[in-house]
Chains A and B, each alone.
Chain A
Amino acid sequence: MSSIIPRKMSPAARQFLDKIMALSDALNERMAVKALIEKRQAAKQQLLTMGLPTRKDEDWQYTSIQSLLQQTFSLKHVQEPIELTTAQIQTFLPNFDTIRLVFVDGFFSEQLSGGFDFIPDGLSIEMADADAIQTINLSEKADAFQWMNELMLDQGVTIELDARVSVEAPLHILYIQTQTAEVLSPRLQVRLGQSSQLQLLQQYVCLTEEVTTWVNGISHITVGENAQCKQLVLQQLSQNSFYFNHQHFVQAAASHIETSYIALGALLSRHQSVATQQGDAAETDQDSIVLGRGQQVMDTRTLTQHQALHGHSRQLHKLVLADEARGVFNGMIEVAKGAQKTDGQMDTKSLLLSPKAKVDAKPQLEIYADDVKCSHGCAAGQIDEDQIFYAQARGIRRSDAMQLITQAFLLEPLDKWQTQPEMQAWLTKLIVQKL
């Protein structure tokens, strides 16, 4: 009988893992909930066996985690949440009504949160509750970052929406990091009842550009029959931060999800979105806007699992990369045997603003049904000189012309917010500021 042989790790990987395992041990003493300790212990064993990914792993071929491994992180080194005023966080807030939950360094801040009047009957929000963090079980395919989330599991939010309830105001969860070298392992569980509707906005920011953080989150969202979920993840961490997120939507029949990812910050980021259509006639729309400059590495991944009849999925991913930034896109559409009449489409377009910027895009289809319509498109290039000259010939400066063309290219996925002009204007402003 052979047992699983632990994977060999580089000294840097081993050292990094040892350090975060020590954080986990300390957490076990501080937060001695038996069920959680068991989970953290199991994650430890799992990580020791599987090790950390390297570029030899197919899923990590274009994304090196070396920059992360060089860091040393702490976990809740402040025992008390630091106090912020609403004025200090105003710059991050949209100018429209939301139900706002604010977490400062992982601590819920009641004072900064607001909009509770918009919470209708049938919407329940539970925080720092063991339920959210206990009931998400990682799948066999979970990667090392999900296990690291489990290893340092200390908090979660559970949102439940009853059948037929529509929440008018977006539910806005804002994570503000104020301490350097802190790791945050947020967990979010959302359950949408039949025919319910929810708009969810998850925003990750650092209080200042000087704060360096590591956010390593997991979200699990189940969407009931005929329910609708419009979700937006806004990643605006400081330019030296690290962001990993794994989100999974499980969709019942005739449910509709729209998920958008906007990545503006972090030195190294990786956003994985999974949608599993378990019921017939489900709809899945996924898009992303990625803007990278400097040395940023920005990885966006989608996995769309069509497992039932008449499934529909659409994707539009846009990347603009300047300087020496690197973009990675990996999109997989899986159509299971029997998932007939699936209609899946995926598009990725990248604009490279400098000769040293680079993108690796890998769209994939895996189809086991015979009556389906699936396609993918992938394009990468520089700004068309003819477009620039056309604008110049109208008196527009070259730099303004490039800005105009780049902006139009990058903002295309925002067209879907046309019915919410305030949201569209806010997102446009956030992105244009970074261009």
Chain B
Amino acid sequence: MLLTVKNLHAQVADEIDKPILKGLNLDIKPGEVHAIMGPNGAGKSTLSSVLAGREDYEITDGTVEFSGDDLLALSPEERARKGVFLAFQYPVEIPGVSNKLFMQTAVNAIREENGLPALDMFDFDRYAQSKIDLLKMPKDLLDRSVNVGFSGGEKKRNDIFQMALLEPKLCILDETDSGLDIDAMKVVANGVNSLRSPDRSFIVVTHYQRLLDYIKPDFVHVLFDGKIIQSGGFELVHALEEKGYDDMIQAHQQLQHNQK
């Protein structure tokens, strides 16, 4: 198992008594693509943030094991170094820092973790160009400041490019499709598809089914009220498309009521 989430409870750090995740369980094997869907406020972004190690959240219960490590005990950079990658819902702008310097620093941090020598400027350039070609990214991407002056679509593309460079084991896409037009979404989906491999897993968090039509996940989970209330295959995406979340939520609430 690559990732095992057990009974995960989390809340915003300074908002006690307002739990967001309320006992979430998830198992991911290498090479699998899991989609997490759910209505607004279900806890989708919280799950992404908690897995990546954002400090705004407090874990109140549960465990997360990643490749045999206690993920929750690691700092965000240690998680990234061990192969967790988060594609942001809103990629951050860093004025004055070139994408090239930023990603060279990041790639060499990961290489250091893996006991590999650092890439110099020329080697990094060559490596980065190969990824730019693979993903059909614009050639000037490296020379620009990190996400500064990028359109929404360009920012998401840049995150996918970073993902390609870092070659992570687990890629978490946090509503990467939000705010994207259909062309930008295809670029993101193509990026993900070209990075799929037997030893790389994905968690695709999304509100809409559209992105999933291009990515075709192996498993689909519906998150509601901090828990996964239903899991299934790709067919679940279409069931949701037809009936919406309401039916499923009502059925779930009915079930809970009956159990009580």
Contact = CB atoms under 8 A, between A and B. Distances in A.
Partners in one complex: yes
Interface of A: 384-387, 389-398, 400, 404-405, 408-409, 411-412
A405 B93 CA distance: 11
Interface of B: 52-55, 75-77, 79-81, 85-86, 88, 91-97, 101-103, 105-106, 109-110, 113, 145-146, 162, 166
A384 B103 CA distance: 19
Dominant secondary structure of chain A at its interface with chain B: helix
Contacts of B109: 394-397, 400
Nearest to B146: A390
A396 B166 CA distance: 12
Given A400-B105, A404-B97, A405-B97, A392 B77 contact: yes
Given A400-B105, A404-B101, A404-B105, A394 B95 contact: no
A431 to B, nearest CB: 13
B54 A394 contact: no
Most buried by B among A384, A386, A393, A397: A393
A393 B94 contact: no
Contacts of A409: 95-96
Given A395-B113, A396-B105, A405 B80 contact: no
Contacts of A408: 94-97, 145
Contacts of B75: 392, 398
A412 B97 CA distance: 10
A396 B77 contact: yes
Contacts of A393: 52-53, 76-77, 79-80, 85-86, 88
B77 A395 contact: yes
A391 B94 contact: yes
Given A395-B77, A395-B81, A396-B106, A390 B101 contact: no
Given A389-B54, A400-B105, A404-B101, A395 B94 contact: no
Contacts of B102: 391, 394, 396, 404
Given A389-B76, A400-B105, A404-B102, A394 B166 contact: yes
8 contacts: A389-B54, A390-B92, A393-B76, A394-B162, A396-B105, A400-B105, A400-B109, A408-B97
A185 B110 CA distance: 53
B166 A387 contact: no
A320 B52 CA distance: 30
Contacts of A394: 80, 102-103, 106, 109, 162, 166
Contacts of A390: 88, 91-92, 94, 146
A394 B107 CA distance: 8
A405 B103 CA distance: 13
Nearest to A401: B77
Given A394-B162, A394-B166, A405 B94 contact: yes
Given A389-B76, A409-B96, A395 B106 contact: yes
Contacts of A387: 92-94
A412 B96 contact: yes
B177 to A, nearest CB: 19
Contacts of B85: 393
A119 to B, nearest CB: 37
Given A398-B75, A404-B105, A392 B80 contact: yes
10 smallest CB-CB distances across A and B, nearest first, come from A408-B96, A395-B80, A394-B106, A392-B76, A390-B92, A395-B109, A408-B97, A392-B77, A395-B81, A395-B110
A425 to B, nearest CB: 14
B190 to A, nearest CB: 22
B97 A397 contact: no
Contacts of A404: 94, 97, 101-102, 105
